[in-house]
Amino acid sequence: MTSTPPKALHPDTLAVRAAVPRSSYGENSEALYLTSGFVQPDADTSARRFAGEEDGYTYGRTSNPTVTSLEMRLAAMEGTEACMATSSGMSAVMLMCFALLKSGDHVIISQSMFGSTLKLIGSEFARFGVQTSIVPQTDLDAWRRAVTPQTRLLFAETPTNPLTEVCDIAALADIAHSAGAWLAVDNCFASPALQRPVEYGADIIMHSGTKFLDGQGRVMAGALCAPQTMVTEKFLPVIKNAGMVLSPFNAWVVLKGLETLGIRIQAQSAQALALAQWLETHPAVARVHYPGLPSHPQHALAMRQMSGVGGAVLSFEVKSDSPEQGRVRAFQVLDHLEVMSLCTNLGDTKTLLAHPASTSHGKLSETQRQAAGIGQGLIRVAVGLEHLHDIRTDLERGLSLIA
Ligand SMILES: *Cc1c(COP(=O)(O)O)cnc(C)c1O
């Protein structure tokens, strides 16, 4: 359940203010309505609410005022009419596919999508007759060539994990719309503070609230931001029956996280840029992937699309003569950390490092991994708010053993 926020206010203001009205107690911080059911004033009202003829809360699998506040706030920040919160980022993907696709439909996704997204759409939905084409992230002609008369959905993620490849949202929206399909964008890495895909023509914005929206590594959450009719007519009927709802407690945590999203991601991105520049000159480092660096293949596009900021996630490859040596050296860097965390999450105020080749991309064969550009020496850094000097010192402990 959502209502359109006042459009006159800046998204930064709505990030702090958009919510359901205060209760009669006048609380200043948004209330946490930790309840599964709602008492109905009378049987007639109850009947109208259940028939969908009147707004009003009935049961937690349909809606909850704290969850509504999060939905209003995130929709306002993304610039969409409405939003539907879900229990995790992956349940948002599942809700979207469940609600929009049927057997015989065709989807196009990039080969650089989040691993679980690739598996859920490419394998699980294939069991129900949904066909999927998997194309290179930045090759617009490949996206165009993959379109069939059955294509209903193009789904992109930008920047991607962990190589930070950037795709042109406006160009993909054109391809989708001329095929009569929707464009969905996973906006997890940039967040609405840096990138608002609707402004480039995207129809649906998918989020893992687990990452930058919470921002402090506390809860799982997800969301789909979309036009009001899609939320009301497509997503709501499915989530009501399928039950991938967000808990009010988690909604409240993310709601409060959104208030500081803008300043967090600006500060973390500034640190990421400084770290990327330092790593690029480091003798033990072969390559740095970061959209804010001029050496990034889609640097100009990224700067245009992401408010001139590269985001808070980068990855780098340690120098090595072989994949085996790359793995040993990457492990050496990770095992010498004394401050930062070895943790596959991202979007936290704590800096988190991960070794994609043995974790998120661990199930690929060495050949598939090479094709995906995920070397054994690759390390992902999701930059947090520790002092930059301490971040560099923590990395240098292991890197100095290589150079
Ligand atoms: C984490 C992540 C997801 C999945 O979200 P969960 O909340 O973990 O289910 C999807 N896409 C991207 C880009 C992610 O980083």
pLDDT tens sequence across 28-67: 999 999 999 999 999 999 999 999 899 999 999 999 999 9
Q: How far is CA 139 from CA 238, 288, 374, in A?
A: 34, 21, 18
Which residue's C-alpha comes closest to atom 6 of ligand 1? 89
Q: pLDDT confidence of 370, banded at 50, 70, 90?
A: confident
| 296 CA from centroid of ligand 1 (Å) | 23
- CATH number for the domain formed by residue range(s) 262-399: 3.90.1150.10
Query: What ranges in 79-186 are assigned the alpha helix state H?
Result: 89-100, 115-119, 140-146, 169-178
Mean pLDDT along residues 303-325:
97
pTM attached to this predicted model: 0.96
pLDDT value, residue 367 = 82
Which residue's C-alpha comes closest to atom 2 of ligand 1? 208
Q: pLDDT confidence of 369, banded at 50, 70, 90?
A: confident
Q: Which residues line ligand 1 (CB under 6 A)?
A: 88-90, 114, 117, 157, 161, 186, 188-189, 208, 210-211, 220, 222
| 148 CA from centroid of ligand 1 (Å) | 28
| 247 CA from centroid of ligand 1 (Å) | 17
Handedness of CA 126, 131, 135, 139 (dihedral sign): negative
Cβ(205)–Cβ(80) below 8 Å: yes
pLDDT value, residue 6 = 54
pLDDT tens across 227-273, in order?
A: 999 999 999 999 999 999 999 999 999 999 999 999 999 999 999 99
∠ CA 191-195-200 to the nearest 5 degrees? Answer: 135
Handedness of CA 76, 78, 83, 86 (dihedral sign): negative
Residues of the chain with CATH 3.90.1150.10: 262-399
Residues of the chain with CATH 3.40.640.10: 11-258
156: CB partners within 8 A, 6+ apart: 109, 110, 113, 137, 167, 169, 172, 183, 184, 185, 186
CA 390, CA 45: separation in Å to the nearest integer? Answer: 59
| 90 CA from centroid of ligand 1 (Å) | 6
Select from 186, 211, 348 the residue to mutate for testing ligand 1; criterion: most ligand atoms less than 8 Å from CB.
211
- Which top CATH class is 11-258? alpha beta
Handedness of CA 228, 234, 240, 242 (dihedral sign): negative
Q: Which atom of ligand 1 is nearest to the CA of 92?
A: 9
| 224 CA from centroid of ligand 1 (Å) | 13
Q: What are phi and psi of 282, to 5 degrees?
A: -80, 130
Q: Which atom of ligand 1 is nearest to the CA of 90?
A: 9
Q: Which atom of ligand 1 is nearest to the CA of 222?
A: 7
| 187 CA from centroid of ligand 1 (Å) | 10
